[in-house]
Amino acid sequence: MLRNNFGTAEEGEPPDRLYMLAQCMTDLSVNECKTCYDLSNHALAGCLPNTGGRALFDGCFIRAENYSFFDETFQDKDFKHCSDNAEFNQKFNQTPEKVFKKLVKLAEHNDGFAVAKDSSNGFNGFTVFAMANCWRSLDSSKCSSCVENAANRAISCLPSSEGRVLNSGCVLRYSDYYFGNNPRALEIKESALKTASYIILALALFALIIMLGICAGKSSYRRIRHQRKSNGNVEK
């Protein structure tokens, strides 16, 4: 069922037709995804005899219903969990909103997956980490809408130091520690952004040098041409 850590399936005849979607977080390996999928599939079986159910682990998600839900973004019965631990630092409670804005932009343009962080300065400094992942059955517009909705719901968890939102089409989590499956995900993203910035800067400088060279060449050409005309006039 799972290819590239994602898969959908349909089986049976209406009204007993079963629709299923499973997806691992983008930062899981193929083997880690398989292990997580086996656990979530077993957990989903515990939903019987209900006509549908969802199971979310740190690394994967699985859902089954008796109707096609693949393009759903969010609905009233979506899940939110706020931790019991609280952080009453005013700056901490302002930081997640900044991180969520990054997630919405990144997820829309990064195949539905985004990680972001924001740090405070000072003696009692802290860092807020966040991750969002859309199900691949959504297009970029619906993904952005889903993550934005999840972000708005997650803000209501504050002052909890950690919160999770499971929407029909995506999942979002924030915390005061890094909880991702790939510790280098943030480093890779930041490195890529820095590299892109350096490339853009280098291209801009290169273009500027070319423009300056062209302008200097034209100026020299005009000066030489003027001198030749002047010399010609003197000789006559």
Give tens-digit pLDDT for 105-148.
899 888 899 999 988 665 467 889 999 999 999 999 999 999 99
Beta bridge partners of 79: 166
Closest to 63 (Cα-Cα) out of 80, 91, 43? 43
Model pLDDT, residue 45: 84
Model pLDDT, residue 172: 96
Gyration radius from the chain CA atoms: 27
Please tell me the distance from the alpha carbon of residue 65 to that of residue 54, in angstroms, as a whole number: 9
The beta strands (E) that lie in the chain are given as: 6-11, 18-24, 53-56, 60-65, 79-82, 113-119, 127-134, 162-166, 170-175
Model pLDDT, residue 228: 52
Model pLDDT, residue 171: 95
Model pLDDT, residue 19: 95
Please tell me the distance from the alpha carbon of residue 79 to that of residue 97, in angstroms, as a whole number: 19
Beta bridge partners of 8: 21
CB 96 within 8 A of CB 158: yes
Please tell me the distance from the alpha carbon of residue 185 to that of residue 191, in angstroms, as a whole number: 10
In the numeric block, which tokens belong to residue 32? 């880690």
Please tell me the distance from the alpha carbon of residue 107 to that of residue 101, in angstroms, as a whole number: 10
Closest to 133 (Cα-Cα) out of 96, 105, 170, 103? 170
List of residues 6+ apart from 206 with CB closer than 8 A: none
Within a 10 A sphere around the Cβ of 122, how many other Cβ atoms? 8
The beta strands (E) that lie in 16-107 are given as: 18-24, 53-56, 60-65, 79-82
List of residues 6+ apart from 55 with CB closer than 8 A: 40, 41, 43, 44, 47, 61, 62, 63
- Amino acid found at 100: F
Q: One digit per residue, pLDDT tens: the chain, 236 residues?
A: 566 789 999 999 888 899 999 999 887 888 888 888 888 888 888 888 888 999 998 889 999 999 999 999 999 889 999 999 988 887 888 888 889 999 998 998 888 999 999 886 654 678 899 999 999 999 999 999 999 999 999 999 999 999 999 999 999 999 999 887 765 555 544 443 343 333 333 444 444 444 444 444 444 445 555 555 555 543 44
CB 127 within 8 A of CB 119: yes
Model pLDDT, residue 38: 87
Q: Is 137 helix (H, G, I), strand (E, B) or coil?
A: coil
Q: Is 97 helix (H, G, I), strand (E, B) or coil?
A: helix
Model pLDDT, residue 165: 96
